[in-house]
Amino acid sequence: MKNLDDLLSAGVRGRRVLVRADLNVPLDGDRITDDGRVRASLPTISQLAEAGAQVVVTAHLGRPKGAPEPKYSLAPVARRLGELLGTEVALAGDLVGGSAKAAVDGLADGGVAVLENVRFDPRETSKDDAEREALAGELAALVGDGAAFVSDGFGVVHRKQASVYDIAELLPSYAGGLVLSEVEVLRTLTGDPQRPYAVVLGGSKVSDKLAVIQALLPKVDKLLIGGGMAYTFLAAQGYGIGSSLVQEDQIESTRALLAEHGDKLVLPVDVVVADRFAADADHRVVSAEAIPDGWMGLDIGPRSVGEFAAILGGAQTVFWNGPAGVFEFEAFAAGTRGVAQAIVDSDAFSVVGGGDSAAAVRSLGLPEDGFSHISTGGGASLEYLEGKDLPGVAVLEGGN
């Protein structure tokens, strides 16, 4: 697929370039609490601006219901992007209306403008092809003749949406540096990874990860299970799990996985339990086989961290997606911190699969350069590892 280097070598000075970025950052009011995705978008936007392109950025934030919602405005993101670029970044007050046209028409060579949240328009996520295509047509008209499209929002390439998929069929399209690097890393994991190959999966629900677990088990040497979904596996073994999170409808599926791949699946041997879900809850470490009634598991215990670390320390390839516990509460952060530190200390080619795992790396103060790659797209990464086609990548590979 054509990439950013191909576009830059063709020359972009004075040319409008529409960039689909992933700027879906967590907010506390209008304060960004983790700007990792903004920083990840910088290289592509900077290269285009420095080459003299008129850069028009489209992105989403949160899950608005197809209409403007002030709390999901991209205003904080545009401000932060401007700070990181060291220049003013214009924010259009709409997506394809008069404000957007004024912002785009006002761009000088090397200038950057951000269009308001693309999901304020219901056509962005519509299942109706014609509706999405209509929005894509308006975006293409906004940037005008001679424009190009750069797909750099890896976190959305698994979605068939107007600003991801349909626009790529209308404009000459290129993979941005971020999307290109993400795909290359994932191809390494799905190709012929160096062994031993260990995967760590956490998060709350087995149902969210079941397909990727089933896809990965034949390919990995060890698959380590943490987070809330570990308790469904423990329940499948017949252990009492107190009031821990459990998906009753997934117990049979997990029991079948344990029966077929028990030699590869590694579950916690001890857990940190609490009497309630709160940062200041009473807590203690117990055996995974002996969770008291009324108590809930909120983290893996120290023996589990040790066993996980031993496996990760001997691995040559590691993929990690999902925290081992409720790392947002300090009392239940040791498991996630221990798993992450073991990966940092290993010699493995290591990939952090975006989402909460990437947030944990930053919030726990771990060195980002201690990992080979930190993905910006948890859902996209998992779907790729499942073997699914990613529409936003497939359309680029089709070429336009």
Q: Which residues are catalytic, by number?
A: 37, 205, 355, 379
Q: Is 356 one of the annotated binding-site residues?
A: yes
Q: What is the dihedral of CA 186, 188, 194, 199, to 10 degrees?
A: 10
DSSP 325: S
Query: Is 368 known to sit in a ligand binding site?
Result: no
Check the annotation: does 222 bind a ligand.
Answer: no
223 is in an annotated binding site: no
**119 annotated as ligand-binding:** yes
Tell me the CA distances in angstroms from 373 to 75, 250, 326, 327, 377, one per residue in order.
29, 31, 23, 21, 12
Residue 355 annotated as part of some ligand binding site: yes
Is 159 assigned a ligand-binding role in the annotation? yes
d(CA 214, CA 222): 13
What's the CA gap between 174 and 19, in Å, rounded? 10
CA dist., res. 27 & res. 80, Å (int): 12
Cα–Cα distance for residue pair 70/64, rounded to 1 Å: 10
Helices H / strands E in the chain, number of each? 14, 17
Residue 178 annotated as binding? no
22 known member of a binding site: yes
| 52 marked ligand binding residue | no
Distance (Å, whole) CA 192 – CA 196: 11
Is 99 annotated as ligand-binding?
no
Binding residues: 22-24, 37, 60-63, 119, 159, 209, 297, 328, 354-357
Binding residues for (2R)-3-phosphoglycerate: 37, 119, 159
Binding residues for ATP: 209, 297, 328, 354-357
Binding residues for substrate: 22-24, 37, 60-63, 119, 159
